[in-house]
Chains A and B, each alone.
Chain A
Amino acid sequence: MGRFICKRLAATILVIVAASMLTFGILHLTPGSTPATILKYAFIGLEEIPTDAEITEITTRFKLSDPLYQQYYRWIKQALRGDLGDSYVYRLPVAELIGLRFPATALLAVLSVTLSLLISIPLGILCAVKRNTFFDHFNRLLALFAVAMPSFWLAYLLIIVFSLGFNLFPVAGFRSLSSLVLPCVTLAAGMGAVTLRIMRSSMLEVMGQDYILTARSKGLYERSVIAKHALKNAFLPVVTVVGLQFGHMLGGSVIVETVFSWPGIGKLLIDSIFAKDIPVVQGCILLIAGTYALVNLLVDLSYALMDPRIRYGRES
Chain B
Amino acid sequence: MLNKQVMSPLLSIRALSTCFQIQETVVKAVDNVSLDIYPDEVLALVGETGCGKSVLALSILRLLPENSLSEGSILYKGFEILEGSNEELRALRGREIGMIPQSQASSLNPLLKVGWQVMEVLRLHTKVRKPDAHKKVVELFSRLQLPEPEKRMDYYPHQLSGGMRQRVLVSMGVACNPNLILVDEPTKGLDAVLRMEVVKLLGRQAAENNRSMLLITHDLSVAALLADRIAVMYAGEIVEMGSSAGVLKIPRHPYTQSLLDSLPGRGFKPIPGFSPSLSRIPPGCRFQPRCRVACSKGAALHPDLREADPNHYVRCFHAD
Measured CB to CB, the residues of A under 8 A from B are 209-211, 213-222, 228-229, 232-233, 306-309
Known A-B contacts A308-B156, A309-B158; the reply to A217 vs B111 at CB < 8 A is no
Q: Cβ of B108 and Cβ of A308 under 8 Å apart?
A: no
The digit string for B135-168, where 1 denotes a CB below 8 A from any CB of A, is: 0000000000000000000001010000000000
CB contacts under 8 Å to A, within B106-146, are: 106-112, 120-121, 124-125
Q: Give the total number of A-B pairs whose CB atoms are below 8 A apart.
A: 71
Q: A residues within 8 A CB of B93?
A: 216-219
Binds A, one of B10-18, B32-40, B94-102: B94-102
Q: Cβ of A219 and Cβ of B125 under 8 Å apart?
A: yes
- 26 A-B pairs within 8 Å (CB atoms) are namely A210-B101, A211-B106, A211-B110, A214-B99, A214-B169, A214-B172, A216-B93, A217-B61, A217-B63, A217-B93, A217-B99, A217-B101, A219-B90, A219-B95, A219-B124, A219-B125, A220-B90, A220-B120, A220-B124, A221-B90, A228-B120, A229-B109, A233-B109, A308-B111, A308-B156, A308-B158
Contact of B308 with A by CB under 8 A: no
The digit string for B169-189, where 1 denotes a CB below 8 A from any CB of A, is: 100100000000000000000
Q: Choose from B58, B108, B121, B158 the contact partner of A219 (Cβ within 8 Å).
A: B121
Q: How many whole Å from B170's CB to the nearest CB in chain A?
A: 12
Q: Choose from B89, B108, B124 the contact partner of A214 (Cβ within 8 Å).
A: B108
Q: Cβ of B107 and Cβ of A211 under 8 Å apart?
A: yes
Q: With A and B bound together, what is the CA distance between A18 and B120 in angstroms?
A: 52
Q: B residues within 8 A CB of A233?
A: 109-111
Q: B residues within 8 A CB of A210?
A: 101-103, 106-107
Q: How many whole Å from A213's CB to the nearest CB in chain B?
A: 6
Q: A residues within 8 A CB of B109?
A: 211, 214-215, 229, 233
Chain B residue, CB-CB nearest to A206 = B109
Q: Cβ of A211 and Cβ of B108 under 8 Å apart?
A: yes
Chain A residue, CB-CB nearest to B106 = A210
Contact of B92 with A by CB under 8 A: yes
Q: Cβ of B111 and Cβ of A232 under 8 Å apart?
A: yes
Chain A residue, CB-CB nearest to B104 = A210
Q: A210-B102, A214-B109 are in contact. List 9 more A-B contacts (CB 8 A).
A: A210-B106, A211-B110, A217-B94, A218-B94, A219-B89, A219-B93, A219-B121, A222-B86, A232-B111
Q: B residues within 8 A CB of A228?
A: 112, 120
Q: How many whole Å from A302's CB to the nearest CB in chain B?
A: 14
Interface-central residue, B94, B109, B110, B112, by most chain A CB under 10 Å: B109
Q: Cβ of A219 and Cβ of B94 under 8 Å apart?
A: yes
Chain A residue, CB-CB nearest to B173 = A217
Chain B residue, CB-CB nearest to A233 = B111
Q: With A and B bound together, what is the CA distance between A209 and B106 in angstroms?
A: 8
Q: Cβ of B91 and Cβ of A219 under 8 Å apart?
A: yes
Q: Cβ of A309 and Cβ of B156 under 8 Å apart?
A: yes
Chain A residue, CB-CB nearest to B113 = A308
Chain A residue, CB-CB nearest to B156 = A308
Chain A residue, CB-CB nearest to B169 = A214
Q: Cβ of A218 and Cβ of B101 under 8 Å apart?
A: no
Q: With A and B bound together, what is the CA distance between A213 and B102 in angstroms?
A: 10
Chain B residue, CB-CB nearest to A308 = B156
A-B complex: 7 closest residue pairs judged by Cβ atoms? A219-B93, A219-B94, A217-B99, A210-B106, A218-B94, A218-B121, A308-B156
Chain B residue, CB-CB nearest to A132 = B66
Q: B residues within 8 A CB of A232?
A: 111
Q: Cβ of B112 and Cβ of A214 under 8 Å apart?
A: no
Q: How many whole Å from A153's CB to the nearest CB in chain B?
A: 38
Chain A residue, CB-CB nearest to B98 = A217
Q: B residues within 8 A CB of A214?
A: 99, 101, 107-109, 169, 172
Chain B residue, CB-CB nearest to A230 = B109
Q: B residues within 8 A CB of A229?
A: 109, 112
CB contacts under 8 Å to A, within B70-95, are: 86, 89-95
Q: How many whole Å from A308's CB to the nearest CB in chain B?
A: 4
Q: With A and B bound together, what is the CA distance between A307 and B156 in angstroms?
A: 10
Q: How many whole Å from A159's CB to the nearest CB in chain B?
A: 44
Q: With A and B bound together, what is the CA distance between A210 and B104 in angstroms?
A: 9
CB contacts under 8 Å to A, within B236-283, are: none
Q: With A and B bound together, what is the CA distance between A228 and B121 in angstroms?
A: 13
Q: Choose from A215, A221, A222, A307 the contact partner of B111 (Cβ within 8 Å).
A: A307
Chain B residue, CB-CB nearest to A207 = B65
Q: B residues within 8 A CB of A309?
A: 110, 156, 158
Chain B residue, CB-CB nearest to A231 = B111
Q: Cβ of A219 and Cβ of B110 under 8 Å apart?
A: no
Q: A residues within 8 A CB of B156?
A: 308-309
Interface-central residue, B89, B101, B102, by most chain A CB under 10 Å: B101
Q: With A and B bound together, what is the CA distance between A306 and B61 in angstroms?
A: 32
Q: B residues within 8 A CB of A213?
A: 58, 63, 101, 107
Chain A residue, CB-CB nearest to B63 = A216
Q: A residues within 8 A CB of B111?
A: 232-233, 306-308
Q: A residues within 8 A CB of B94?
A: 217-219
Q: How many whole Å from A227's CB to the nearest CB in chain B?
A: 12
Q: With A and B bound together, what is the CA distance between A209 and B86 in angstroms?
A: 21
Q: How many whole Å from A208's CB to the nearest CB in chain B?
A: 9
Q: B residues within 8 A CB of A219?
A: 89-95, 121, 124-125
Q: A residues within 8 A CB of B124?
A: 218-220
Chain A residue, CB-CB nearest to B103 = A210
Q: With A and B bound together, what is the CA distance between A307 and B111 in angstroms?
A: 6
Q: B residues within 8 A CB of A216?
A: 63, 93
Q: How many whole Å from B76's CB to the nearest CB in chain A?
A: 14
Q: A residues within 8 A CB of B99?
A: 214, 217
Q: With A and B bound together, what is the CA distance between A34 and B259 in angstroms?
A: 84
Chain A residue, CB-CB nearest to B64 = A213
Q: A residues within 8 A CB of B110?
A: 211, 233, 307-309
